[in-house]
Amino acid sequence: MINMKLINKMIQKRQFNSAYNELLKINYSYSFKSVSQDFPEIDRDTMLLYLSYALSRSESVEKYISICNLLYFEEPYIEGTDSFIKWILNRALIVFPNNKIIIDWIISVFSGNPDCPFSESEMNSFLRIN
């Protein structure tokens, strides 16, 4: 049985490799919901660092989307977040071309949003794929 309290402590102490290896044993789901529920005590910046580490070990759509959700929906606001999210999502689309989950996220968050970091042409392209 996995000890989530121990993994919480590992992440808080930035023992990312150890935490990642423990979560790998249970094929952990890195969905935003799972991360939010399983690690409520970990501050957003530490979780962003951990998720970035986990992404570097094994890229997945789920990790990319969780990082974007943390950046976009969690406090405190980081100036320039929209541009950073665009960079992350562009990388995700290179690794996972035309991925419906990624494109759906972009459309649901940025369609009609005046702060949208994507051009009108890019958004129209996403809408055509969707």
Count Cβ atoms below 10 Å from residue 60 Cβ, excluding itself: 16
67 and 3 in one domain? Answer: yes
Q: What is the pTM of this model?
A: 0.94
86 within a domain of the structure (yes/no): no
Residue 78: the pLDDT is: 86
111 and 69 in one domain? Answer: no
25 within a domain of the structure (yes/no): yes
- Number of independent structural domains in the chain: 2
19-76 pLDDT tens trace:
999 999 999 999 999 999 999 999 999 999 999 999 999 999 999 999 999 999 998 8
Cis status of the peptide bond prior to 76, with omega within 30 of 0: yes
Q: What does the alpha-carbon distance between residue 12 and residue 42 come to, in Å, rounded to a whole number?
A: 6
43 and 8 in one domain? Answer: yes
Nearest to 70 by CA among 107, 116, 39: 39
Encoded tokens for 116: 């949208």
Q: Are 28 and 10 in contact (CB under 8 A)?
A: no
67-89 pLDDT tens trace:
999 999 998 888 889 999 999 99
4 and 64 in one domain? Answer: yes
121 within a domain of the structure (yes/no): yes
